Amino acid sequence: MSLSIDNSELKPHVPELAHFIAQELDVYVSQVHLMNFSTKGNDSLIRWAIFPAGSADYMSHTTAMEITSRLAGDRLHLPDTFGSYKLVKWDIEPLQKRYKQNLFFASS
């Protein structure tokens, strides 16, 4: 995800960002993991992932399809606090690609 906000402005709002992403994707905030971020000028590039809820080893097909639908349909809306933003890339990574052996969504 690319945000038009500089790193120093973004850093204190990272927990809020996770909350808003969770709200928009209808998942628990504990499922949203911000993996890393980098900055270039006044832009920030963030990689985040959605993990299965709690101690689950997988995400239901229905939940996965809902998340996919929201991401593909540009239905992710964040407050103006985060400036303008764009999903640069998103994908679904299967079990063998993850060190925790769970299905998750990744966006960068």
Which 3 state secondary structure label does DSSP give 3?
strand
Percent of the chain with pLDDT over 90: 18
Most confident of 22-26, 64-68, 82-86, 89-93: 22-26
pLDDT tens digits, residue range 9-28? 888 888 899 999 999 999 99
**Dist CA 78 CA 17 (whole Å):** 8
Single pTM value for the model: 0.78
To 10 degrees, the CA torsion angle through 17, 18, 24, 29? -150
State how far Cα 9 lies from the chain centre.
19
pLDDT tens digits, residue range 61-71? 898 889 988 88
Handedness of CA 51, 27, 11, 73 (dihedral sign): positive
pLDDT tens digits, residue range 39-55? 888 888 888 889 888 77
State how far Cα 42 lies from the chain centre.
20
Which 3 state secondary structure label does DSSP give 28?
coil
Confidence check: pLDDT of 89 > 80: yes
Rg (CA), the chain: 14
